[in-house]
Amino acid sequence: MAGGSGLAARETGTGLSPTMVALRRLARDRVAVLCAVVLAGFVLVALCAPLLARLEGQSCAALHTELVDPYGYPVVGPDSRHWFGIEPRLGRDLFARWAYGARPSLLIGVGAAAGVTMIGVPLGLVAGFAGGVVDRLIVWLIDFMLSIPTILFIVGAVPVVATWFGPEAARSSTLDAEIRLWTLVCVFALFGWPVMARLIRGEVMSLREREFVDAARLLGMPTRRILRSELLPNLTGPIVVGVSLAIPAYVTAEAGLSFLGVGLIEPTPSWGRTIADATSYYASDPLYLWVPAASVLLLVLALNLLGDAIRDAFDPTAR
């Protein structure tokens, strides 16, 4: 591996950055490529959800109560008009709700991971580089945030934070649902940054003793430039590791909270919410439960396996 890329370097005259080496190793890993394809498929579904719904000829909000019998059970199964069938009781089209449901899952997963990175990386950088009082303060803050029971606090904070965006009665239900989505992203980012900050801080503390940092200091480089152009590029590895751990964790968390009824609420289509609704129909209408459940399973599995492969590819000591 090292010999291969070294030969290439000698031939072309340019070196390969650690990131490029890692990406090449990743491309050779078949499982990783498969997971990336699955992930791309989900992203495509989420992006083209309106297109897919129009293709099918349904929308995710239209009620079809005429197709539901007096007991709330759907009269029709999956057919050419409703590809995944319809929901019991309200009769909404399940395929459209599935396609639209991919959006909040991916949006919250990526959004929360981005938020965690934007808060955690600067704080970890400052803590690791500055040392002294600033470091101890930030470490205390990290320990404090990690000591808060996250599930309970998130479950408790989401409704309260949602009220901060305006009084509840004055909002339409669609605006309410939107606010819920962004509340979730904010709350996740607020509770997730300590892990990233701790990771970055550890890495910075070992990097700051290296010679290139001393050289930069001697040359009179201002601290801000040192952090930005000397240290930050070397932190690509830990940042990628952190993000690869965060995204599946937040997709799972969103689905879990929606399952409990605390996350996304009606009318936002959410896979977690659909799973909760489908639990009572699991024996009589298994497709209702298994479509969102399998989707969550597949998405999180692909993200986790891909993340694992990325971590192995970025780790210089891995076989």
Residue 295, interface with other proteins (CB under 8 A)? no
CA distance 3 to 75: 65
Residue 153, interface with other proteins (CB under 8 A)? yes
Rg (CA), the chain: 24
Residue 44, interface with other proteins (CB under 8 A)? no
Cβ proximity to other proteins: between 155 and 232 the closer is 155
CA distance 56 to 295: 19
Residue 308, interface with other proteins (CB under 8 A)? yes
CA distance 247 to 153: 20
Residue 170, interface with other proteins (CB under 8 A)? no
CA distance 214 to 193: 29
Q: Which of 109, 115, 128, 248 binds other proteins (CB under 8 A)?
A: 248
> What letter represents residue 49's amino acid?
A
Cβ proximity to other proteins: between 229 and 279 the closer is 279
Residue 159, interface with other proteins (CB under 8 A)? yes
Residue 262, interface with other proteins (CB under 8 A)? yes
Query: Mask 88-127, x = binds other proteins (CB under 8 A)?
Result: ----------------------------------------
Residue 192: count other Cβ atoms within 10 Å of its Cβ.
25
Residue 148, interface with other proteins (CB under 8 A)? yes
Cβ proximity to other proteins: between 17 and 163 the closer is 163
Contact region with other proteins (CB under 8 A), list: 48-56, 91-99, 158-166, 189-197: 158-166
CA dihedral (117, 120, 123, 128) in degrees, to 10, reads -100
Q: Which of 18, 122, 202, 256 binds other proteins (CB under 8 A)?
A: 256
Contact region with other proteins (CB under 8 A), list: 12-20, 126-134, 171-179, 259-267: 259-267
Residues that bind other proteins (CB under 8 A): 140, 143-144, 146-153, 155-157, 159-160, 163-164, 167, 248, 252, 255-256, 259-262, 275, 279, 282-283, 293, 296-297, 300-301, 304-305, 308
